[in-house]
Structure 1
Amino acid sequence: MSAGVVVTGLGAVSPHGDELATLFDSLWHGHSAIAPIFPELPKPAAAAVAPFDAMRWFTKLQLAGVDRVSQLAVAAADLAVRDAGFAASTAGEAVDPERIGLYVGCGMGGAAALEAGYRGGGRVPPLTIPAFMPNAPAAHVAMRQRVQGPVLTYSVACASSAVAIAEAAAAVERGDVDLAIAGGSEALIVPGVVLAWQAMQTLATFEPGCAATAVRPFAADRSGFALGEGAAFVMLESAEHARRRGARAYARLAGWGLSCDATHLTKPDAPGQARALRAALRRAGLQPRDVGYCNAHGTATRIGDAVEREALATVWGDALDTLQVSSTKALHGHLLGAAGALEAVVTVLALHRRALPPNAHGASADPDCPLNLVREPGTMAPHLSAAITNSFAFGGTNSVLLFTRP
């Protein structure tokens, strides 16, 4: 059992903005950030783009060779550090920089830099390689925050940042670091990437004027997800370290579970997901009935939602009806490598405020996916004491994070 890893800071640059209260309230009220993009593409596409002003964190000179994915990461990590109570906004100036670790998830790196290189008409910018390498976000955050301990990047598709948070928690628990900045970043909304996802037939279809409600997790008429972009980070430390410096704790990261399906590159597997769910519960020392909310992976794909429901049913058994479920991807899109981190931030806020974001746009629930879905915006959960968030990736890696009230 994890006795004392706590979340003391949250930061996000999301399709709903970078203010935590605005982000959560928008989701809680069911406001979608998904809108049409790239009208020049052969097929209609929609995505959730993050409103972001890079000049709040960079000078024009500093932006040279820094892809949007790294810009978002620097901003979100800075917000998490400030939220954790470091007024200087540089963690390495407040504590021993060698005792800080940075754990970052990034699925595909600097897509804008790579796209520009392909479309450059023969002229490739000289900083293209350091701009699009997947560990660039971690490197830029490390330089900004003066992190001199372990700085690691996890590229595990849709589970990347959830894996990063789990690895950070393990490092804090072992005593390898005193502070861990953990999360992820992704900025993939460029034409080439959108076309690639369309070719896989995983993106939601929609009628003109209906892009905002295109993503319908667990609904009978679901047709896939919409891409999202953004970055999110949490500050993790031991409860004792947080107490000594007088920090507020949003939640305990009480358990985490990692597993691999080892069956198929893209088709999910319920037994593999169930292993990760059980591992998180076991580490936290909890029973399924103790957990009141699940921020589901919920990609609104035909197979994915049904398999996730099967995994939850396998582990929760007769207690499944006590678990309230929603997928916030219906509102902020699928951030791929950053999805787990943003959804962890949302889950921590849900637990902290005892308020649940709805499973939006799913009025026609799939009878083959029976779950206790959060139906209405503005739902309160006055007795909520534990919550999980699921991240299940191409490649078969599964990550589950379990938070409890501190």
Structure 2
Amino acid sequence: MEKILLWSFLLTSSGSQAVRSLVQRNTEFAVDFYQAICLSHKNNIVFSPLGTTLVLGMVQLGAKGKAQWQVKQTLKFQESSTGEEFSLLKSFFSAISEKKQDFTFNLANALYLQEGFTVKEQYLHGNKEFFQSVIKLVDFQDAKTCAETINTWIESKTDGKIKDMFSGEEFGPLTRLVLVNAIYFKGDWKQKFRKEDTQLMKFTERDGAAVNIPMMKALLRTKYGYFSESYMNYQVLELPYKGDEFSLIVILPAEDVNIEEMEKVITAHQILKWFSEMQEEEVEISLPRFKVEQKLDLKEALYSLNITEIFSGGCDLSGITDSSEVFISQVVQQVFFEINEDGSEATTSTGVQVPVIMSLVRNQFIANHPFLFILKNNPTESILFMGRVTNPDIQKIKGRDLDSL
């Protein structure tokens, strides 16, 4: 059997009714996929609904029959025109790419083809048109050289954050096609977290253990909401990046709420409700610095969402090639996500120095126990990244950082 490897590499640091409908469906997919990933991951999680949609979209572009139907159903694509869905995605990417004054957002897709392996021109054209994919010919028989070639591309597209991703062991004599998606986002906070205000505080991890971590602190006027759903109370906070194109949304359940129980009842409707109903208020914020580096094998999660056909020999990928022996062998997503004080800019009127005691502030958002987060594009409300923090990474804290707190 010939193989296709499907890899997605991510990291970070108002339209028409049709676009709005697409956002609704994309949010539904994000929630479904997040809940599927939670079934097999108990600690920190970060993944990109956008990246997953892209790589699955590239597969669906060449899939037929049951394989295509399963992917369309899971991505919430409408039964009719696939081209319309991809055209809307293309417009969204172009709109983001054109606005880079206050942030860095790079999106790149590539197809690595085995030399001599025949891929249909229409499929290559579709990838260039809808996903702006570059096409590169390689020899997977020379696994080491292939790994170095793809690693160099990934490193260049992710500002050097992801290096040596492939060892060559992922490739074999039957590998015919590797689809790669890279997303890089870096934004400055609109309102500043001052490094001198960061303090060591207790964080209660998922297993109940308490650890000391650097907790960023600020008194800000920003969008905030207190919600009660399914007998659960939780707070939602929005931290916009400079330029207001992107925001980090932090969802903090009450201390007596089990985060796994909360995850089970989250819906796309709720998420869009948070986006629309939060109001600007003054909030005392305590948020951990955190970094999540994760390599997720998405095959199990996709199976649970009924995407199974593409992984079986004999699946219909005739839109890609006439070969009847190709199938998807892996779907892996690599993510680097970091939140800290760095790079934040604000005037003195938007960021307020944190006094030692802020007991008069009505709203306190103290993320000293597990929480969820979403990185979204504000004009479209599309979710780029989604995840949870159950135990902030304290292994990489330098001694001098601890000494300064």
TM-score range, shorter chain: under 0.3
Identify the structure with the greater helix proportion. 1
Asked which structure has the greater CA Rg, the reply is 2
User: TM-score normalized by structure 1?
Assistant: 0.22
Identify the structure with the greater strand proportion. 2
